[in-house]
A and B are shown apart, each in its own frame.
Chain A
Amino acid sequence: MKRAFPWHIAVFLAPAFLIYTAFSALPLLDTLRLGFFTTHDSGHQTFVGLANYIKLLTDPDWSAGFWNAMNNNIKFFLIVMFVQNPIALLLAALLSMHGVRGAKGYQTLIFLPTLLSVVIIGFIWQLILSPLWGVSEKLMGFVGLADYFQPWLGDESSALITLSLISVWQFVGVPMMLIYASLIAIPDEIIEAARIEGASSWHIFWTIRLPLILPTLGLVTILTFVGNFNAFDLIYAVKGAIAGPNYSTDLLGTFFYRTFFGYQSQIGSPTMGAAVATTMFLIILSGVGVYFYFIQRKLQRFAF
């Protein structure tokens, strides 16, 4: 006798499957497809193979913008990676020490900015750093550094760094919490065993705790990577779609937005936009791939 069709499984799965497929998976696939097409003025699309990608990477009209955004994005990622995560590690390590009074309070407050919209945060910092208001200058004056104040966000050489530091300021709470959670998951007895063997707190941190939380640091790295190569809101809120001054803060996200919707004289192109999106997809995918095949596999998680 044939088993009856398991309707209940279908009912449990179907809604999630359908919505996910229609609004996430298929659009993504369709975007990959669109990248091989071009849009004519009449509106219909024809297959052009890799032409869009060749244009994007080699045509001077396009490639300059693309590589600029790419370079900025790498810088943005590296700054966030090597400023945010060490700070997060330091904060988490201090929080997880035994008997730190008010640890919960510190955590709660430091985590607060991550809950606010990037847009709001962007505006807030724009105001604070504005020479019109002069708050930063005043604050720096307290420590005798008033002369060093610059309108950092307006300066081509410092705007990107400033924006990435704003991002660090906002999101340091996330890696801090992840690292904190994995630090307190290490059993006390292991730390005590090391103390009995004469290891100092410093030594314990480097030889016991840090190696044991490497998987979490790997996770934090890939989350930072995906988040940063997909960033858009902060730049758009503070600098608009043209990511000034002179594109010095342009990231792949804003570049994608301009390509898709157009700006000033350039008309938006869904197919070129799709090509840019596909390129971003490949970059993110390769990052995720590296994570899973090398880092995740090498760093075993330790069950305690």
Chain B
Amino acid sequence: MKHKVTRAAGTGFTHLVLGGYTLLALFPILLVIINSVKSKDGIFDSPLSLPTAETWSLVGFEKVLAKSPFIHFFGNSLTVTLVSLVLILVLGAMAAWALSEYKFRGSKLLAIYMAFGIMVPIRLGTVSILELVVKLELTNTLTALILVYVAQGLPLAIMILGEFIQQVPKELKEAARCDGVGEFKIFFQIILPLIRPAVATVAVFTMVPIWNDLWFPLILAPGEETQTVTLGVQQFIGQYVTDWNAVLASLSLAVLPVLVMYVFASRQLIRGITAGAVK
């Protein structure tokens, strides 16, 4: 009997802590979204209540969409993130394959060289990156951002994909070689499909920091044309800091796409992180 009581108490405590923390994690985000669809009075008089017929208002969103090319920023972010992601995954997998499959002079050294970027933040090279981008006449282009993000994402991608590639049974490759299949075909038609789960994991690790980055858009592509969502919101709020409707609406607009994506991808994402971490 005593055991049952302590167990029930333990379960209660567990859910209290986890539930409490979950509430803490969600509250600020929900608060902003709820208040973004209220009138100014509603926001200040009853910030903690849901919008009512009286306080319901989309004026904030109207202002944001009228005063800033938000959809355009969104497109920029999407372009930068997706192109970088594809390049990181394809180029990373190719390099990971080469480094783990072919042993040549200096292959170890090359692997260490590529792995260096995992621990050292690329931000520290900003002074020279900016010089280089200026020299290449790439300032205020999405290309500059993409190139930097690919360079930033490759090291981790190569490491994780490399570990998975090493687990592909040797027999598979040997069987293919015996059949006279070329090295490129082996990679694209045998290896790449086999490491799909790892690719999903790497995609998660890579995508989020690119989408959310402020530093490089601020430095390399601050022009109106090339602003990403993160930078756009930052600049917008700086300008309209006293217009609460607009600020809350712009924050909601920045949060919502990620929320929508998360609703669809959270299972895959959590599994990917768990699997990746066990490696």
Contact = CB atoms under 8 A, between A and B. Distances in A.
A16 B91 contact: yes
B95 A119 contact: no
B28 A233 contact: no
Interface stretch (B57-65, B66-74, B145-153, B169-177): B145-153
A62 B126 CA distance: 20
Contacts of A127: 32, 244, 247-248, 251
B179 to A, nearest CB: 17
Interface string A191-234: 00000000001000000000000001000001000100010110
Interface in A12-34: 12-13, 15-17, 19-20, 22-28, 30-31, 34
Interface in B24-68: 24-26, 28-29, 31-32, 43-44, 47-48
A184 B270 CA distance: 14
Contact of B125 (A24, A100, A101, A107): A24
A206 B110 CA distance: 41
A13 B95 contact: yes
A58 B268 CA distance: 52
A182 interface: yes
Given A15-B94, A22-B132, A182-B277, A112 B18 contact: no
A104 B270 contact: yes
A94 B17 contact: yes
Contacts of A128: 28, 31
B154 interface: yes
Interface string A240-274: 00000000000001001000110000000010011
A95 B19 CA distance: 11
A169 interface: yes
Nearest to A271: B127
A277 B124 CA distance: 5
B126 A260 contact: yes
Given A31-B128, A110-B25, A117-B230, A8 B183 contact: yes
A116 B123 contact: no
A213 to B, nearest CB: 11
Nearest to A178: B277
Contacts of B127: 27, 30-31, 34, 260, 270, 273-274, 277
Contacts of B266: 108, 111
B97 interface: yes
Given A19-B91, A117-B254, A237-B234, A6 B131 contact: no
Interface stretch (A46-54, A65-73, A155-163, A279-287): A279-287
Contacts of B78: none
Interface string B96-137: 011100101000001001101101111111111111100000
A190 interface: no
Given A91-B18, A110-B21, A277-B125, A19 B214 contact: no
Interface residues of B, number: 91
Given A91-B21, A109-B25, A128-B28, A25 B123 contact: no
A90 interface: yes
Given A108-B270, A127-B248, A31 B21 contact: no
Interface of B: 10-11, 14-15, 17-19, 21-22, 24-26, 28-29, 31-32, 43-44, 47-48, 87, 91-92, 94-95, 97-99, 102, 104, 110, 113-114, 116-117, 119-132, 147-148, 150-152, 154-155, 158, 182-184, 187, 208, 211-215, 218-219, 229-230, 233-234, 237, 244, 247-248, 251, 254-255, 258-259, 262, 266-267, 270, 273-275, 277-278
The 10 closest A-B pairs by CB, nearest first: A27-B125, A23-B151, A117-B212, A12-B98, A27-B128, A16-B95, A181-B277, A30-B128, A24-B151, A28-B125
